[in-house]
Amino acid sequence: MAIQNAYLKAVYEKVCARNPGEKEFLQAVDEVLESLEPVIEKRPDLVEAGIVEQIVEPERQIIFRVPWVDDNGKVQVNRGYRIQFNSAIGPYKGGLRLHPSVCASVIKFLGFEQIFKNSLTGLPMGGGKGGSDFDPKGKSDMEVMRFCQSFMTELSKHIGADTDVPAGDIGTGAREIGYMFGQYKKLRNEFVGVLTGKGLSYGGSLARTEATGYGLCYFTAEMLSCMKNTSFEGKTVVISGSGNVAIYATQKATELGGKVVALSDSNGYIYDANGINLDVVKDIKEVKRGRIKEYADRVPGSVYTEGCSGIWTIKCDIALPCATQNEINLDSAKALIANGVMAVAEGANMPSTPEAIEAFLNAGILFAPAKAANAGGVATSGLEMSQNSERLSWTFEEVDAKLKNIMINIFHNAYNASKEYGHEGNLVSGANIAGFLKVADAMKWQGI
Ligand code: NDP
Ligand code: 2IT
């Protein structure tokens, strides 16, 4: 499928010319613009107001040098990014990715998708994203601290509790957020909710750690129930990754009656026919910062295989990609379909290639796109911001109940939009359209 509408095609061509070679960013824009075709026909006022031309251009892009000193006293230099994409419905909000693959294209695709995701949550948050090509893997705590302090020294000039509120993403967890928060506080002499995903002793929200994985399963459960009259009960589940999102997706999917049989990291995957023992995974990944391979040494009967794409050849009913972008290509999609997968729900951002998505939709498989399905993380960040503003902490149960409610609402909003705009059941279109409309109206009413 390609964009058909001449106006949207022209906008897309301009984006391609302006952002040459940024393949992840162009992939994300292409998908959204294609979804907007029926909106453009129904809403000439948005065309008149130039909303689409504006929404594809970040409001502000900040790229900066991050110098730090390693444990051998040697100066290291990384590149930092913060893309403030859209503030029509609230302060910029979105995570910080620390991974060697980080570049402008990756941060821009993530920031662009964040606009629509944050809109879907129903909370007042604009879209932004940032990060660095720094690799926390194999670094000492003190090296990570020095990097985070240097990163925040520049970033602190551009963010604020009412301006832009970063959070975690790949490579950025509680440790990194803590060091960054500490540095922000020193530089600005203010204790405010400028980051989310904070530790519980200094303003973090209960259930934020669990939120993305739990939210993914709440969304998937609602989709299974409403679209196929079924549930997680008795289903075999394959989950990629073994980081924050994968771990808590495993926990909730298991609680809901599913059996998770595989997890992975960037080196390979483990298969455990008895169902993953999450205590072992948490010890390896959260406590020891080790590799998923160690699971096979510790759990009898489990098997480790080198290479991560092979995980999609495991027979399952539900697939939850929770590692990284474009991890499911057409071949992996075909393998999942051939093995009878019933639902694919994206915990990672943009984990399925466009060809894989098309294959799932054509095969009638339930497909939950990232913008909708993984919005539970940022939604709970929004709840953390509310708690910081009122200087109160809600209980785990309160936050979890709000999260569940938000995920159920996102499913229905996406489903209803897919129906209203002529693609009933296509949640890719539905999520893009529902997310877009709120932001587009806000932009229109605020003027140029
Ligand atoms: P973590 O850093 O906690 O874990 C990332 C996991 O994905 C690790 O197992 C990692 O393996 C694997 N991974 C990362 N990059 C690659 C790669 N290039 N190839 C193969 N595997 C890879 O990150 P999160 O769990 O927080 O994030 C996972 C995904 O979920 C990302 O797409 C992120 O954007 C998305 N997301 C995260 C949210 C959050 O709240 N944390 C919210 C919404 C979406 P290894 O250790 O080998 O690198
Ligand atoms: O991709 C995402 O939504 C996140 N990494 C979470 C962002 C946030 O601000 O909590």
In short, whether 403's Cβ falls inside 6 Å of ligand 1 is: no
Mean model confidence pLDDT for the chain: 98
Structure tokens at 370: 């990232």
How far apart, in whole angstroms, are the C-alpha atoms of residue 329 and residue 31? 16
Specify the amino acid at residue 262. A
Closest by CA position to 66, among listed 160, 176, 162, 161: 176
CA of 227 to the centre of ligand 2 (A): 27
pLDDT at site 276: 98
pLDDT at site 157: 98
CA 387 to chain centre: 22
CA of 169 to the centre of ligand 2 (A): 6
How far apart, in whole angstroms, are the C-alpha atoms of residue 58 and residue 299? 47
Point out the residues of the chain with pLDDT beneath 70.
Answer: 1
In short, whether 376's Cβ falls inside 6 Å of ligand 2 is: no
In short, whether 376's Cβ falls inside 6 Å of ligand 1 is: no
Locus of tokens 């393949």: 23
CA of 226 to the centre of ligand 2 (A): 27
Beta strands in 49-190 (DSSP E): 60-69, 75-86, 92-98, 126-132, 164-167
Q: What is the pTM of this model?
A: 0.98
Nearest CA to ligand 1 atom 10: 265
How far apart, in whole angstroms, are the C-alpha atoms of residue 275 and residue 312? 17
pLDDT at site 65: 98
Residue 246 CA: which ligand 1 atom is closest?
25
Q: What is the dihedral of CA 335, 341, 345, 349, to 10 degrees?
A: 0
pLDDT at site 1: 61
Burial state string for 191-222 with b = 16 or more CB within 10 A and e = fewer than 16: ebbbbbbbeeeebbbbbbbbbbbbbbbbbbbb
The reply to whether 157 belongs to the active site is: no
Q: What is the largest CA-CA distance in the chain?
A: 64
Structure tokens at 244: 């924050």
Q: Which ligand is nearest to the CA of 328?
A: 1
pLDDT at site 187: 98
In short, whether 169's Cβ falls inside 6 Å of ligand 2 is: yes
- Contact partners, residue 311, CB within 8 Å, separation at least 6: 238, 240, 262, 264, 269
